Amino acid sequence: MIMFYRLDLIVTNGTHIMKTKIAILFFLKRTTINSNGESPIYLRITIDKKRIQNSTGLFVKPEYWSVNKSLAIGKNKESRLINEQLEMIKHRVVEAKNELFIKDTPLTAETLKNLLFGIQQKKRTLVPIFQDHNNRIEALLGQEYAPGTLERYKTSLKHTQEFIKWKYNVSDVELDKIDHALICDYEFYLRSVRKCANNSAIKYIKNFKKIVKQCMANGWISNDPFANYKSKVKEVERVFLTELEINLIVNKKFVSDRLSIVRDLFLFSCFTGLAYVDLKNLTTNHISKGIDGEQWIFTHRQKTESASKIPLLPIPQEIINKYKHHPHCEIQNKLLPVPSNQKMNAYLKEIADVCGINKDLTFHIARHTFATTVTLTNGVPIESVSKMLGHKSLKTTQHYAKVLDKKVSEDMNILRMKFQKTTEEQAKKAE
């Protein structure tokens, strides 16, 4: 029976404790014989079923080697010296194992071999890992990711590379250089050099954090550099149209077809809450009868893949009927003739000027208008609004509820009138 020298190492991993077994074996490579009739002695280490082996640099004649005991036999001086050196090699393995443990380096066949035999492992750097992440997103466009997501991460990588050049005057950094100070310096760079607003800077840091978390999950970064880092997104006041402003757009007569179409598409979103890309993707297949027997839109938000189920109000239903036979819709099998987002926003600025609306009108304002003026202001429960908007969290929808001072005012006026009526009735009784 071949004798193995075994080590049982207890490795902690968070709250879990596991044993890593190391088996050490010395064996003779009998197929190789030198001019003195000796064969080389090899060391084999097995860690979690993975083997590494290397020559010990020692030689012995096959007849002086015990396969069962895994050592040299005989009472001669040469055999004794060989066994002493094999014992020293065992101790070196134990010391290497302990060194990896102290350094909090994962114990693997590769890391132990590199340390034992002085092999310099090439250190991983940030930029190739970030680029590989972006390449994977690009490969899954249309399946798991939207084009906008890829563009955001491309911009994040560009900012990261420019920061590294600005701070260290190099093109890349090793992963072990990423610490709390680097993150703080990166945020300072985004705010000062790039002139990013608070929320933009925080979003770029968040994208960077995703890459760091991936490196940690792979065991390439041992300590979390974000552990003591704190940032706060500032709440942005969302612009929306009032009922009066909606009516100005509804009742405006446009000579230009391009403005009429954009106006209709904008109003369609005002009364459905659909974002531009989701509106553009609509086909007749997305329209069917809902639970109440009326026409509904059944779709999924491209941004979050959340389901959106929206009952059709009269205005969007009229718009669908109006463009049913539009050439663009018939040829491309689309519900509505939607131009590019760039053109849409440019034409909306013209519409705002013509209608006398003093707001920087963009298509996304229609979605905000649906959430506020069209639904929440008219008493639609926030849970229903959240579901129609395709929000994953009610917390996202609550941002809209905070800006409705008008609704608060109207509700309080009802309460005020109720108290006033009670006071008057009591005064009359007192008379």
pLDDT tens-digit map of 144-176: 887 888 899 999 999 999 999 999 999 999 998
Query: Does position 407 have pLDDT exceeding 70, yes or no?
Result: no
What does the block give as tokens for 274? Answer: 């659909």
In this structure, is residue 303 part of a structural domain? yes
What pLDDT is stored for residue 9 in this prediction?
47
Instruction: Please tell me whether residues 206 and 327 are part of one structural domain.
Output: no
In this structure, is residue 426 part of a structural domain? no
**Domain range spanning residue 73?**
5-116
Q: How many CB atoms lie within 10 A of CB 38?
A: 18
What pLDDT is stored for residue 349 in this prediction?
94
Among candidates 143, 350, 358, which has minimal Cα distance to 244?
A: 358
What pLDDT is stored for residue 8 in this prediction?
47
Instruction: Please tell me whether residues 388 and 252 are part of one structural domain.
Output: yes
Question: Rounded to whole angstroms, how far apart are CA atoms 24 and 46?
Answer: 7
In this structure, is residue 416 part of a structural domain? no
Half-sphere exposure of 81 (CA within 13 A, CB side): 6
Q: pLDDT: is 202 or 75 the higher one?
A: 202
Instruction: Please tell me whether residues 155 and 287 are part of one structural domain.
Output: no
Among candidates 134, 81, 103, 97, which has minimal Cα distance to 19?
A: 97
Mean pLDDT of 356-373: 90
What pLDDT is stored for residue 161 in this prediction?
95
Q: Please tell me whether residue 205 adopts helix, strand or coil conformation.
A: helix
What pLDDT is stored for residue 22 in this prediction?
79
Count structural domains, the chain.
Answer: 3
Instruction: Please tell me whether residues 108 and 144 are part of one structural domain.
Output: no
What pLDDT is stored for residue 205 in this prediction?
95
Question: Rounded to whole angstroms, how far apart are CA atoms 73 and 66?
Answer: 6
Is residue 371 within 8 A of residue 385, CB to CB? The reply is: yes
10-19, 157-166, 358-367: range with highest mean pLDDT: 157-166
Is residue 113 within 8 A of residue 52, CB to CB? The reply is: yes
Percent of the chain with pLDDT over 90: 36
Q: What is the CATH number of the domain that holds 185?
A: 1.10.150
Mean pLDDT of 43-52: 84
Instruction: Please tell me whether residues 393 and 247 are part of one structural domain.
Output: yes
Question: Rounded to whole angstroms, how far apart are CA atoms 145 and 133?
Answer: 12
In this predicted model, what pLDDT tens digit does every residue of 214-240 receive, in sequence order? Answer: 999 888 888 899 998 988 877 667 788
What pLDDT is stored for residue 236 in this prediction?
67
Among candidates 141, 347, 371, 155, which has minimal Cα distance to 249?
A: 347
Cα 47 from chain centroid (whole Å) = 34
Residue 265 has φ and ψ, to the nearest 5°, of: -65, -40
Is residue 377 within 8 A of residue 404, CB to CB? The reply is: yes
Query: Does position 402 have pLDDT exceeding 50, yes or no?
Result: yes
Q: Which residues contact 223 (CB under 8 A, 6 or more apart)?
A: none
Query: Does position 389 have pLDDT exceeding 50, yes or no?
Result: yes
Instruction: Please tell me whether residues 262 and 365 are part of one structural domain.
Output: yes
Residue with tokens 């010990």: 56
What pLDDT is stored for residue 126 in this prediction?
94
Is residue 156 within 8 A of residue 207, CB to CB? The reply is: yes
What does the block give as tokens for 364? Answer: 């996304």
Question: Rounded to whole angstroms, how far apart are CA atoms 369 and 6?
Answer: 70
What pLDDT is stored for residue 405 in this prediction?
59
Amino acid at 69: K
Instruction: Please tell me whether residues 81 and 20 are part of one structural domain.
Output: yes
Instruction: Please tell me whether residues 98 and 131 are part of one structural domain.
Output: no
In this structure, is residue 291 part of a structural domain? yes
In this structure, is residue 273 part of a structural domain? yes
Phi-psi category of 125—alpha, beta or left, where left has phi over 0 and alpha has psi -120 to 50? beta
Per the prediction, the chain carries an average pLDDT of 85
Question: Rounded to whole angstroms, how far apart are CA atoms 200 and 186?
Answer: 13
Angle of CA points 309, 374, 346, to nearest 5°: 90
Question: Rounded to whole angstroms, how far apart are CA atoms 222 and 333?
Answer: 52
Band (98; pLDDT cuts 50, 70, 90): confident
Band (120; pLDDT cuts 50, 70, 90): low
What pLDDT is stored for residue 121 in this prediction?
59
Query: Does position 423 have pLDDT exceeding 80, yes or no?
Result: no
Among candidates 314, 336, 332, which has minimal Cα distance to 323?
A: 336
Residue with tokens 């563009």: 151
Question: Rounded to whole angstroms, how far apart are CA atoms 357 and 241?
Answer: 9
Instruction: Please tell me whether residues 277 and 371 are part of one structural domain.
Output: yes
Query: Does position 267 have pLDDT exceeding 90, yes or no?
Result: yes
What pLDDT is stored for residue 165 in this prediction?
94
Among candidates 356, 346, 362, which has minimal Cα distance to 245?
A: 356
What pLDDT is stored for residue 319 in this prediction?
93
Instruction: Please tell me whether residues 301 and 374 are part of one structural domain.
Output: yes
Instruction: Please tell me whether residues 171 and 294 are part of one structural domain.
Output: no
Residue with tokens 């014992």: 87
Question: Rounded to whole angstroms, how far apart are CA atoms 26 and 220?
Answer: 32
In this structure, is residue 294 part of a structural domain? yes
Mean pLDDT of 44-52: 83
CA 164, 165, 170, 171 torsion-angle sign? positive
Q: What is the CATH number of the domain that holds 260?
A: 1.10.443.10
What pLDDT is stored for residue 18 in this prediction?
46
In this structure, is residue 227 part of a structural domain? no
In this structure, is residue 424 part of a structural domain? no
Is 118 exposed, middle or buried (CB count within 10 Å of its CB: 0-12, 13-18, 19+)? exposed
Query: Does position 431 have pLDDT exceeding 80, yes or no?
Result: no
Question: Rounded to whole angstroms, how far apart are CA atoms 119 and 127?
Answer: 24
What pLDDT is stored for residue 202 in this prediction?
92
Question: Rounded to whole angstroms, how far apart are CA atoms 266 and 272?
Answer: 10
Angle of CA points 169, 170, 176, to nearest 5°: 115
Instruction: Please tell me whether residues 303 and 370 are part of one structural domain.
Output: yes
Alpha helices in 271-340 (DSSP H): 276-280, 314-322, 327-332
Q: pLDDT: is 393 or 124 the higher one?
A: 124
What does the block give as tokens for 284? Answer: 């007749």
